[in-house]
Amino acid sequence: MPGGIRSGLPQTHMMQTTQKNRFAPFFVASVTVALVLLIGSVVTFTARAKTVDSSDAPKLSVPAARQHENEFAKVAKAVEPAVVNINTESVIKNPHKHLRRAPQQNPGEEDQEENGNGGGNNSMQEFFERFFGQMPEGIPNMPNAPNGGEMTAQSLGSGVIVSPNGYIITNNHVVEKADRIRVSLMGDPTTVSYPAKVIGTDKETDLAVIKIEVGHPLPYAKLGNSDSMMVGDWVLAIGSPFGLRSTVTAGIVSAKGRNIVPGRQFQSFIQTDAAINPGNSGGALVNLDGEVIGINTAIYTESNGYQGIGFAMPSNTIADVFNQLAGPSHKVERGSIGITFSAEPSPAVTRMYGGGRGVIVQDVTPNGPASSAGLKAGDAIVSVGGKPVANGDELVAEVSAHHPGDKLKIGYLREGKQQEASVTVADRQKLFGAQLGTAEESAEEQAPKESKLGITVKAVPAITAKRLNLAPNQGVLVTDVKAGSFADSVMLGRGDVILEVNRQPVNDPAGFAKVESTLKSGQDVVFVVRQAGQGQNATNSFLGGTLP
């Protein structure tokens, strides 16, 4: 076989040579004919051009400019000046850390109040791309960044001016954690961009309010009633995809009330097939009356680009969130009674505990409103304030519409018997802030003491302990890691739970501080941790090094 392979090469070469020689005369003749024909045609053309009479050729002209506006053009012309381009910059400290560890959820951010399963599941990032330019500029060169140094990430998005004095609605993910926000106006002949300040943000609806000071009244868009839209109605999407300002695309409303992540509350979207792409996020979805009926928020994609399915937050939700964020507190208050339930309830469970109706309580927050009123796991809530509720979405909508301190009559079934309880509504954020990633830090958390190890810790939230299969009061949760610190060097990350330090169990921040105070320079330090991102099958990891 090897001999055959070696002999085959010369044979092939000889055959090609022979064929080349055989057809050489034909090739030369063909080329000669081709050249003759080509030259002949040129000569002929030149000769004819001199003799052809073109005195009867018409004179072409361009008519005076006039408008050919259709409904789309009229709407685009009216709304486009109110849609802005948003450019943000964020400083990323120690970019190497972002390469070594996959991004994690905020500590305790996988379940939400009154929905039980998967409230903050990061699967959303896998299936629904936030499309405002997610990858920081220069990420391919991050390995060359100095260890412990900084890099600047730039992102682009859109926004909608809703008042002549410069209030703008956009997505929270467009401006979240931005160190610098600048706004460019559509149709502005100058290249000036205006600095913007954040008025308020709401993670649960992914909405934010920012403001610019321009010195003169601005064109602004009016909100429409999203409830009046029907599947099949025409809509326009206006924004800055890929940084291309003043881009308008058309489509229809392809669905309403679309919940793109199971169990995610307050995110019921309008679905559209109007083309929206990275950079459209925060831009306007407009009806043919020129009214904004949605803020473009997400797309379903397998390619990071348009695939015919986009999602916009409805204007009726936008109006309520804007009014609260622009109010004195600059935050959205939602009522809660402190319970959790399954986002996708089993019919068998509903039949067993509620006789086929109601919302089955999975758990109650200790010392929360429901617990104080006597509600228990296994109760089936069938009404709120005398209004029947058939599912979890209806329950959350009714409760969250009330303000903290309001009294609510909760009707429920326990062992088949109808009962009623008076519940005092609490602030949802205060009850479930740790799970939602929106908890307000205490003064002590805002100004943590300097740590030898370079970390800040707090007690482990119950929902995180459950997710990582931890016993009550076991371990401490890492809430921050200082770039370039010892903890950072041994790969300890935000969201990890520390169980032991040098074989000494730590079960609360005070216990951790006591162990930390005994550590000295040059000493080996070993952590036993449950790392963020693991589930109930989580196993312990050992991370360690020598303290500088």
Hey, which residues are catalytic here? 173, 206, 281
Q: Which of left, alpha, beta for 166 (phi over 0: left; psi -120 to 50: alpha)?
A: left
- CA-to-CA separations, 168 to 88, 214, 381, in angstroms, rounded: 15, 13, 39
Percentages helix, strand, coil for the chain (3-state, rounded to 5) are 30, 30, 45
Q: Which two tokens stand for residue 9?
A: 């090469």
Q: Which two tokens stand for residue 442?
A: 């205490």
Rounded to whole angstroms, the Cα distance separating 343 from 391 reads 9
Q: Which two tokens stand for residue 490?
A: 């041994």
Burial 237-254 (b: 16+ CB within 10 A, else e): bbbbbeeebebbbbbebb
Rounded to whole angstroms, the Cα distance separating 461 from 110 reads 11
* 440: DSSP letter: P
Contact 475, 107 (CB under 8 A): no
How large is the C-alpha radius of gyration of the chain? 32
The number of beta carbons lying within 10 Å of the beta carbon of residue 309 is 18
Contact 260, 311 (CB under 8 A): yes
Give the strand pairing for 284-286 and 291-300: antiparallel
Contact 408, 423 (CB under 8 A): yes
Contact 174, 203 (CB under 8 A): no
Residue type, 447: A
- CA-to-CA separations, 139 to 97, 120, 135, 242, 446, in angstroms, rounded: 12, 26, 7, 17, 30
Residue type, 287: N
- CA-to-CA separations, 519 to 325, 484, 543, 547, in angstroms, rounded: 45, 18, 16, 8
User: Which residue in 135, 155, 150 sits closest to 96, CA to CA?
Assistant: 150
Q: How many CA atoms lie within 13 A of 139 on its CB side?
A: 12
What sign does the CA torsion over 263, 267, 272, 276 have?
negative
- CA-to-CA separations, 58 to 55, 61, 65, in angstroms, rounded: 9, 10, 21
Q: Which residues pair with 477 in a beta bridge?
A: 458, 497
| Greatest pairwise CA separation for the chain in angstroms | 106
Rounded to whole angstroms, the Cα distance separating 410 from 415 reads 16
Q: Name, in order, each residue with C-beta under 8 angstroms of 234's C-beta and a sequence gap of 6 or more.
A: 71, 72, 250, 251, 252, 287, 288
Q: Name, in order, each residue with C-beta under 8 angstroms of 517's C-beta and a sequence gap of 6 or more.
A: none
